Amino acid sequence: MKITGLPALVGSYDNYIWVLYQNQQAWVVDPGESEQVLAFLQQQGLQLQGVLVTHFHHDHVNGIGALKAAYPHATVYGPELTPNPLIEIRVKEGDRVALTDDFALNVLFTPGHTEDHVSYYNDTVLFCGDTLFSGGCGRKFTGTFAQFADSILKLRALPDQLGFYSAHEYTLSNLKFAYLVEPGNAALRQRILESRILYPEPLEGPQSTLGLEKATNPFLRFDTPQIKAQLLQRGAQDTTESLFKTLREWKDDLDQSGALDHVNLQEEVQ
Ligand SMILES: [Zn+2]
């Protein structure tokens, strides 16, 4: 199965729409737009077979209508809790979506960013929508911090080798926060030095691996001694929910103030 990330809503939300394709058949994850998807399908001679949705936000679903109009036989899969009438097959944790005879995706319920969010994975790939990002995680909108922390722990329990595909390209800004939180993390320094983000070029293959995320993404590391000590100092209680919430709100504050906007990461780590 080949996987290409098509940039979408560039400059506003900086999404990736992931296209999975093999033998002239294609599936897309979270089409927030349709034009670039339709162009790609045509260029590559692909027939759209299905759409997979992680959650209800418009930057993940606004392209579905036009894709269905062009490929009426494509099936739209989405979470059981997503109130979108274009979803034809509702999925929940434990379900399996078979794309081909030898490629299926399992459904994991990962609420927190929103209350309806699911992720899709198998033994080689993880599509985690807006739950985790490369180097960071989504903001808490309509889910709860308790749900979010739980979802992160579920994703952390998956194997390291999984190709990591999230719905946005925020890596460099996320790594600024990661480095602020954990300047002594050697794997993180290495990652910063090696990061070459070419967005908005299409991306062949994953943004990262789940293993690299576990080693460098603070939102997968909020209960490690180094990070936990800082969170307790910032008023967190020693619970998963409170530690995660304190870390997420720390980043929200910095995002809002723009305090990290002018940090030059590559210079910082030299
Ligand atoms: Zn979202």
Query: Is residue 268 pLDDT above 90, yes or no?
Result: no
* Domains of the chain, each with CATH number or no CATH: 2-269 (3.60.15.10)
Return d(Cα 49, Cα 83) in angstroms, integer: 22
pLDDT digits (tens, 9 = 90+) for 122-173: 999 999 999 999 999 999 999 999 999 999 999 999 999 999 999 999 999 9
Task: Report the pLDDT averaged over residues 195-206.
Answer: 96
Question: Residue 26 — very low, low, confident or very high, per pLDDT cuts 50/70/90?
Answer: very high
- Ligand 1 mean position to 186 CA, how many Å? 31
Give the model's pLDDT for residue 68.
Answer: 98
Closest CA to 30 of 47, 10, 1, 5: 5
- Ligand 1 mean position to 130 CA, how many Å? 5
Helical H segments across 32-85, by residue range: 35-44, 58-61, 64-70
- Ligand 1 mean position to 156 CA, how many Å? 20
Largest CA distance in the chain: 56
Give percent of the chain above pLDDT 90.
98
Query: Is residue 14 pLDDT above 90, yes or no?
Result: yes
Determine phi and psi for 228, rounding to 5 degrees: -60, -40
Give percent of the chain above pLDDT 70.
100
Sign, Cα dihedral of 58, 91, 139, 205: negative
Q: Spell out the residues 6+ positions from residue 1 whose beta carbon is closer than 8 angstroms to its own.
A: 20, 21, 22, 99, 100, 103
- Ligand 1 mean position to 139 CA, how many Å? 8
**105: helix, strand or coil:** strand
